[in-house]
Amino acid sequence: MGFDLDMTLIDSRNSIGAAMTALAADTGVPIDVEHIVATLGPPLEISLAPWFAGPELDAAVVRFREFHGDLLHLTLPMPGALAAVTAVHDLGGLVVVVTAKFEPHAWTSLQTVGIKPDVVVGWRFGAAKAGALLQHSARAYVGDHLADVAAAKVAGIVSVGVATGSTSPAALVDAGADVVLPDLLAFPQWLDGFADRRWLDGVDEWTGNR
């Protein structure tokens, strides 16, 4: 089972907001921290592009990560995240986290909130996530962003939207999500049905054993 990270499994608004505030103070650039925090999902390079360009953007990315690495203890689990991961493991499945986040920080963030994935793949956004999902035989991908729906569609797997980020349930549906949950608290019950229905033709178990 594939999962997105920010605003799907973890609430990183506090840590990212604090690091962005520190970056703005350090560079003297008036970064709209509230906007960035309210629209988490895209890679850092895209989020910072309105205020930095060229070598300055590269330097800002590096500097942000320096600040952020010291602030990851502010990360919180999203409601139902630990239970969702446990539900996958209880069925014998693997938890594959595919995220646009800097991969070492993704691991640390998950460790901070007590989530233990089997695989973490960083620096992937939108359709670029599909390769990692296919490589690790994910049968569905859970995410809060329109780009997460696109990732599942490109991979040809079930798209599970969770309305816990900046994207509305209606927008997730319009983008082609196969199912939209209000949050991960609803995930274990959905997962039971997913396992029972054997959604994929020719697959004996939802984990993909043939």
State pLDDT tens for residues 114-162: 999 999 999 999 999 999 999 999 999 999 999 999 999 999 999 999 9
Reported as a single tens digit per residue, the pLDDT across 158-177 is 999 999 999 999 999 999 99
CATH number of the domain that residue 110 is part of: 3.40.50.1000
39 with 107, same domain: the answer is no
Answer yes or no: is 192 within a domain: yes
Choosing from 45, 74, 103, the residue where a domain stops is 74
Helix (H) or strand (E) holding 108: helix 103-113
Q: Are residues 33 and 108 in the same domain?
A: no
* 83 & 148 share domain: yes
Compute the distance between CA of residue 102 and CA of residue 12 in angstroms, rounded to an integer: 13
Residue 11 confidence (pLDDT) above 60: yes
Distance CA 184, CA 165 (A): 12
Q: Is residue 204 part of a domain?
A: no
- Answer with the one of 57, 74, 91 that is the final residue of a domain: 74
Q: Would you state the structure tokens that stand for residue 47, as one six-digit string?
A: 């989020």
* 166 and 106 belong to one structural domain: yes
Q: What is the largest CA-CA distance in the chain?
A: 58
Total domains, the chain:
2
Q: Residue 19 carries which DSSP code?
A: H
User: Given this model, what pLDDT does residue 135 score?
Assistant: 97
Regarding whether 24 and 107 lie in a shared domain, the answer is no
Q: How far apart are CA 126 and CA 45, in angstroms?
A: 14
Structure tokens given for 66: 């320096």
Let me know if residue 95 belongs to a domain.
Answer: yes
- Domain interval for residue 84: 2-10+76-197
Amino acid at 24: A
Answer whether residue 202 shows pLDDT above 50: no
**What is the number of helices (H) and of strands (E) in the chain?**
10, 8
Q: How many CB atoms lie within 10 A of CB 152?
A: 27
Q: What is the pLDDT of residue 149?
A: 98
Residues 161 and 120 occupy one common structural domain: yes
- Which residues touch 124 (CB under 8 Å, ≥6 apart)? 98, 99, 100, 131, 132, 151
Residue 81 lies in a domain: yes
Provide the pLDDT for residue 105.
Answer: 98
Contact 87, 191 (CB under 8 A): yes
> Whose CA is closest to 141, among 125, 126, 161, 127?
161
pLDDT above 60 (res 206): no
